[in-house]
Structure 1
Amino acid sequence: MCGPVLIIPLCLPAQVDAAPMDVGGTIDLAHLAEQVEILRDPSRRLDLDAVLQLPPQAWQGYHDRILRFGYSDAAWWVRLNLRNGGATPRHLILQVGEPQLDEVDVYQVRGTQTVARFQAGDQRPFGDRPLHSRAVAVPLALEAGESSLILIRLESADGVYDAAALGLWDSGTFEKKQKQETWLWGAYYGALMALLAYNLLLFAATRDRNFLYYCLYLGAFGLWSFGFLSGFGFAWLWPDQPSWNNAFDVLIPGLMQIPGTLFVVYYLQTRQRSPRLHRLLIALTLLVQIPSLLLLVQTTGAPQLHAQMHLLTSTFIVLHSALTLLYLVAGIVVLRKGFRPAIYFVLAWSFLIVGGLIINLLRLPGVLPVNWFTTHSVVVGSTFEFLLMALALAARMKQLETDKRVAQASEQALQRDYAQTLQQQVAERTGTLNQSLDRLSAALDAERIAKDEQRTFLDTIAHELRTPLTVIDTIAQNLLLDAGDGDTATLDRYAKILQASQRLSGLLDHQLGDDRRSLVRNQIRRVRCDPAVLLQDAATAAALWADRHQIRVCSDDLPEVVFCDPDLTRLALRNLADNAVKYTPSGTRIILLGGRGGSGGVWFEVADQGPPLPAEEVEQLFNRQFRGSNADGTPGKGLGLALARRMIEDQGGSLNLTTHSCAGLCFRIWLPGPDAGDAVGAP
């Protein structure tokens, strides 16, 4: 059963049985719509038989140059009577609308018989078309004296009807017209490709992201125009995939706004110049993608969204238009803030917006006149936009070059000021450095003089000490010889005097000799030494001061060789052993021992059974000129432990007090292995 038929007057009152149009002569009618009648089918369910049964009063006369149904959820029927009044058959071509029409059905009825039926549109395979034409074109054959009724059914899936011209030509005129249109479109796309290549070269040369984003926008616009606006994509690239037209119709325009917005925000620098407008541009760009994606899902056959088709289309158009207008507003705002290159940007987007506005208003009956400019407003507007945008990019490059020259001039001025300041600072610091070098040279000279004086002093001391030591040594030997078989205590005292004088003489000969002078040398000499010999030497030296002390040496765990400075190590061990004898009660035990340490090192310990130290004295024990409370009456200057630690630390080792309990004191020396420094051969 057919649905209701709603008649809406568009131009003139209804006409009944319009006279047929004679096509017997030369035919070149580009605006055949002035001769047709129309019928609105809100249910979209009327078929050919139902339409043929309608009374003549159901049809409405139409006197506009093109078919303009605007935004409508109905299907539309168009009726045209043709008559061949000539003496020969006529073969004509009827062209219906533009490539964007979704569904177009054309019927040729002669009397009560349908002699031809054609189905076309961008929602049907391109191969179903009787003629290879971007717009729907069908052949019509009329014998001499024959009349035919032409019925055309138009339906839009999204309720948007683009303005559709209705033309009738003979085959020769039609072919000529097709070639002219193809040539014009070729010139348009050639200019677009040249502009795209030019901007790509500029991007490759400058690495300016504005050129890249503009190239992406140009490419997306060209792809949309080629695939949808002109219909070449459907005709040449995907003729068997009509669903791809939906992607170019709804998805590409939405995605095209992404590089468009990126270009706008980077070209106008909206983040710095207008942060609030910048955020609005980004948000609206993302918002446009939602209805675009939903429309794509709907047009690919999601039934649950079919009822929302018109709402989504309207939402997409509103958001898309709002974003395009916002581009223009952003350009005006930035221009008013003093960014002069924005004037070309504003003009460019103005042309494109006007072109888009004209093509949308052209869909509405009687709003705008029909001419070449209005029907091609998008092409004209986009052409001017591309040319002006090229000027805008050139102006921006010029502005950047001007800014660069200003920055370079400022930088050169800063460099000159900096050079002058630097020269002054260099002169001042050079003077300061020369003064420091003079002071350093004077200090080095003073140090050399001090060392020379020190050597002279030590030579004098050594010379002056050797004479009395020789006397003491001679007297001690004579006393031992004269004592003969005297008492043991006397002989022991004479022996200690002799050993002490010999020890001091050995120290003078070894440390202050011409080939050593170890007290004034600057380098540590780590050589191979026998650690057991060093321990035994310290024990022997301490025995001179012993008062019935039990001195024991434990060297079984020591390695055969240790790398150290033997002179410094010997003095440090002697100092520790001497202190153990001097500050412990008579008859107590003193132990000297050693062993292997980590990483090839070695350790020595000197432990006694003397009284413990107060806690407050332990921290000061290694300070120079510090003497403990138990040192009363014992000769000394408080330098021994400080010097001993210095001798060990100069070799990379350590000297510490490890035990200070009631069981006595224990001092530990640790010396590193051979990897800590270069070792030379044994002395």
Structure 2
Amino acid sequence: MPPRLLLTLLLALAAFAWPGGARAHSFAGSGGAIDLGPHATYVDDPGGRWSIDDVRRMPAGAFARGGPLERARYRDGAVWIRIELPRDLPAGAWWLVPCPAQVDSVRLYGEGLPHDAVTDLGTQVPFSARAVPFRQPVFALAPGAADPGGRVLFLRIASQTAILATPTLWRPDAFAAMAGREYALWGLYFGVLGLLVLLNLYFWFDLRRPLYLYCAVYLALFLALLLLLEGFAAQWWFPDRPGSVVYLTRAIALVAMGYTLWFGVQLIEIGRRWPWAHALACTLSLVLVSGVVLLLFLPDGAVLEAMLWLRVLWQPAFAFLLIAQWRARPDLRWVVAAFAVQVAGSSAAMGHTLGLVPSNEWARHSLDIAGLVHMIMLSVALMSRLRDSERRALEMSMRAEARLDQKVSERTAELASINRQLVTEIAERRAAQAELDAALRSERATHETQRDFVAMVSHEFRTPLSIIKAVAQRLRTHASLAEPDLQQRLSRLDRATQRMTAMIETYLADDRMREPEAARPTTAFAPRALIAAAAELHSAMDERLDAASHDALPDCHGDLPLLTIALSNLIDNALKYSPLETAVRVRAHDAGDHVRIDVRDRGPGVPEGERERIFQRYVRGSDGSGRPGAGLGLHLARAIARRNGGDLVLVDGGAEGATFSLRIPVAATPGPSSTRPDVADAAPPIAPGM
């Protein structure tokens, strides 16, 4: 429903629901109702201790004259009202309605009536004890109570809240008709408020916005306060508990004042602009609500008057805030206007209660009229805010959708470009993969050709070298060739063939290291077999080799031919770098899970900066100039050791010589297929590497 249409409907309902239209004040001509205000005078009883006899003895001049008689003094005293009934008052039954519902005690005395005929009504009297079941006190006068004319009635009104007297005489039938209209209009009034409460609860439940829950509580408090102030709660819900009605009325009035103050500053959003005003309003709100507890210990009149003055003092500050927000926040003008109506109505009601505003029908019903208009405008404002927020949300959603469509288009184009790039890249990678596969196949074929060539060359070279070596050794033993010069030349020939053989075996071993591990056979062997096989290649050529082992060492496991080349390379390096007068020691040791074979020389050692570089391929030490070699021996020895689960490390490289340690894993328990070569079954004689 559009907010303007809802506002029109609710204002129409408010016009019908105005309580002022329910009371007729001059039915004298038609026999309906008589306003007794012009016929009434009053006198204050500050202590509330006067009796009816004391009042009757007072002269008529002691009573002051006034229209609707009101006093806003919150105290324990009383007001005595003297009513001279008109002389032309028609005889018959009359009902007297002396005051509104919220008066603690009202008593009726008539001249010539006995004291036990006094009737006591008000909020202190249970509703079920009333002779006329109406929300306000009603005294039923006997048919002869006003006959003959000139009779005088006395009313004693006592209350700790504002005292308001509007004495009116009604014919019973006219009163019944008026009560029916009034109850119908009040029902419409409460129905509008109840509908607003339900609408706000629905919006809160549907939208999950706390603001609508706060507004529903605000409206519910106002509705409950009106039900209590107008006497409906005592009639419908607490007919036998007047004390509960009195306390609830005053407690809910204080809670409503405090909550209204807090809710108002929340709704007009002054917290960001004036934090001090927001803090002050919250503090005053707590003070007003705390009055609910003070009512249990202090006189009700004192508490209510103090809280009412606090609220009155806050009204100018709140009005200033409303004016400032009207100018600064155009989007809050509906809310500001609604609270402006509420401020005007409540100010008029409080001024009327405190005696600051003249009493009239508008002043008496200012809270009811302004309250309904305020509630309607506030609900319309919240609905308008909801509509505006939905419109803004729709606009933001449309803009976001447009941006999303643009981003989707951009992303789609980007993805298409990336997809094309990926297709191109995939094609390029496939072409590169094909080239790589072809290159790999070519490399494999080249490697196979190289292996075949190396194997062929080594086979072709071994035979003549072996023949030359054997001939050289036999010539050295021939008696006719014993001359030193010939023996020296034969020895050179022997060493040359030995170096040629060692070079072939080294390159063949490096080629074998590139084969898959599963292609190389491994065996379990005794450490002395490995040392003997390596030493046999050098003992005939150089007697400086001191190689020894013992049978107590555990068996090793690995590729014996390759390990023989590794140890032979270590021995060959030690012999090359040691002086001619020093020996090279080879010893084996048990190191737990491996056997350690140390090769010790007496050469110049290895400089600190070269101790890792010498294990690289084709790298030689700085002192290797003038000595034969290609820089492949140590690299190959370490690679063979690691390939067999061991390692080769430089234990000591000082100036007094170097010690290389070859570590070989210990063999497990020999299985049925494993073999253990003995010294005689060691690797075939090969020369040391370079």
**What is the TM-score normalised by the length of structure 2?**
0.67
Partner of 1:115: helix, strand, or coil?
Answer: helix
Which residue, out of 309, 325, 339, partners 2:319? 325
Letter of the 1:235 counterpart: Q
Aligned to 2:373: 384
When residues 660 and 77 of structure 1 are mapped into structure 2, their CA distance, relative to the original with a 3 A threshold, is farther
**2:341 counterpart of 1:351:** yes
Distance in 1, matches of 2:109 and 2:212, equals 53
Q: How does 1:28-67 map to 2 (within 5 A)?
A: 28-29=32-33, 31-42=35-46, 44-48=47-51, 51-52=54-55, 55-56=58-59, 59-64=62-67, 66-67=68-69
**2:161 counterpart of 1:152:** no
Distance in 1, matches of 2:523 and 2:126, equals 103
When residues 366 and 386 of structure 1 are mapped into structure 2, their CA distance, relative to the original with a 3 A threshold, is closer
Aligned to 1:4: none
Contact conserved, 1:37 with 1:80, CA < 8 A, in 2?
Answer: yes
Q: Once the two structures are superposed, what CA deviation does each residue of 1:628-664 show, in whole Å capped at 9, x if it has no partner?
A: 6677758454797699799989x9x999979779796
Higher mean C-alpha displacement, 461-470 vs 490-499: 490-499
When residues 54 and 476 of structure 1 are mapped into structure 2, their CA distance, relative to the original with a 3 A threshold, is farther
Q: Residue 190 of structure 1: CA displacement?
A: 1.4
Letter of the 2:212 counterpart: F
Higher mean C-alpha displacement, 29-38 vs 419-428: 419-428
Which residue, out of 234, 254, 258, partners 1:254? 258
Q: How does 1:107-186 map to 2 (within 5 A)?
A: 107-111=108-112, 113-122=114-123, 126=127, 131-141=132-142, 143=144, 145=147, 147=151, 149-156=153-160, 161=162, 163-186=164-187
Distance in 1, matches of 2:664 and 2:124, equals 98
Q: Residue 35 of structure 1: CA displacement?
A: 2.2
Q: Once the two structures are superposed, what CA deviation does each residue of 1:209-237 show, in whole Å capped at 9, x if it has no partner?
A: 443433333233323333x3333233333
When residues 422 and 111 of structure 1 are mapped into structure 2, their CA distance, relative to the original with a 3 A threshold, is same
Higher mean C-alpha displacement, 457-466 vs 32-41: 32-41
Contact conserved, 1:348 with 1:388, CA < 8 A, in 2?
Answer: yes
Letter of the 1:32 counterpart: L
Partner of 2:138: helix, strand, or coil?
Answer: strand
Q: Residue 332 of structure 1: CA displacement?
A: 0.8
When residues 112 and 221 of structure 1 are mapped into structure 2, their CA distance, relative to the original with a 3 A threshold, is closer
Distance in 2, matches of 1:164 and 1:624, equals 121
Q: Residue 465 of structure 1: CA displacement?
A: 1.0
Q: Residue 384 of structure 1: CA displacement?
A: 2.4
Q: Residue 255 of structure 1: CA displacement?
A: 2.8
Q: Once the two structures are superposed, what CA deviation does each residue of 1:528-581 show, in whole Å capped at 9, x if it has no partner?
A: x999789999989977888545679999799x9xxxxx99x9989997996698
Aligned to 2:439: 450
Task: For structure 1, list consecutive stretches of 5 or more residues without a partner in the other structure.
Answer: 1-22, 519-524, 561-565, 596-602, 671-681
Partner of 1:99: helix, strand, or coil?
Answer: coil
- Work out the number of aligned pairs and report it: 598
Aligned to 2:293: 297
Distance in 1, matches of 2:173 and 2:327, equals 54
Aligned to 2:585: 587
Q: How does 1:151-550 map to 2 (within 5 A)?
A: 151-156=155-160, 161=162, 163-226=164-227, 228-239=228-239, 240=241, 241=244, 242-265=246-269, 275-277=272-274, 279-280=275-276, 282-302=278-298, 310-319=305-314, 321=315, 325=319, 328-329=322-323, 331-336=325-330, 339=331, 342-363=332-353, 367-368=357-358, 370-371=360-361, 373-415=362-404, 417-419=406-408, 421-422=410-411, 425-426=414-415, 429=418, 433=422, 436-437=425-426, 440-441=429-430, 443-474=432-463, 511-512=514-515, 547-548=545-546
Contact conserved, 2:510 with 2:636, CA < 8 A, in 1?
Answer: no
Contact conserved, 1:553 with 1:593, CA < 8 A, in 2?
Answer: no
Partner of 1:393: helix, strand, or coil?
Answer: helix
Q: Residue 37 of structure 1: CA displacement?
A: 1.8
**What is the TM-score normalised by the length of structure 1?**
0.68
Distance in 2, matches of 1:51 and 1:435, equals 117
Task: Give the root-mean-square deviation of aligned CA atoms.
Answer: 5.6
Letter of the 2:337 counterpart: L
Letter of the 1:354 counterpart: A
Higher mean C-alpha displacement, 140-149 vs 623-632: 623-632
Q: Residue 188 of structure 1: CA displacement?
A: 1.4
Higher mean C-alpha displacement, 626-635 vs 183-192: 626-635
When residues 95 and 296 of structure 1 are mapped into structure 2, their CA distance, relative to the original with a 3 A threshold, is same
Partner of 1:46: helix, strand, or coil?
Answer: coil
Aligned to 1:94: 96
Distance in 1, matches of 2:71 and 2:181, equals 28
Distance in 2, matches of 1:120 and 1:541, equals 134
Q: Residue 79 of structure 1: CA displacement?
A: 2.0
Task: For structure 2, list consecutive stretches of 5 or more residues without a partner in the other structure.
Answer: 1-26, 478-490, 539-544, 579-583, 666-673, 675-690
Aligned to 2:668: none
Distance in 2, matches of 1:214 and 1:257, equals 13
Distance in 1, matches of 2:301 and 2:532, equals 112
Which residue, out of 71, 81, 94, partners 1:79? 81
Contact conserved, 2:618 with 2:631, CA < 8 A, in 1?
Answer: yes
Q: Which has the higher contact order (CA 8 A, sep 6+)?
A: 2
Distance in 2, matches of 1:531 and 1:411, equals 76
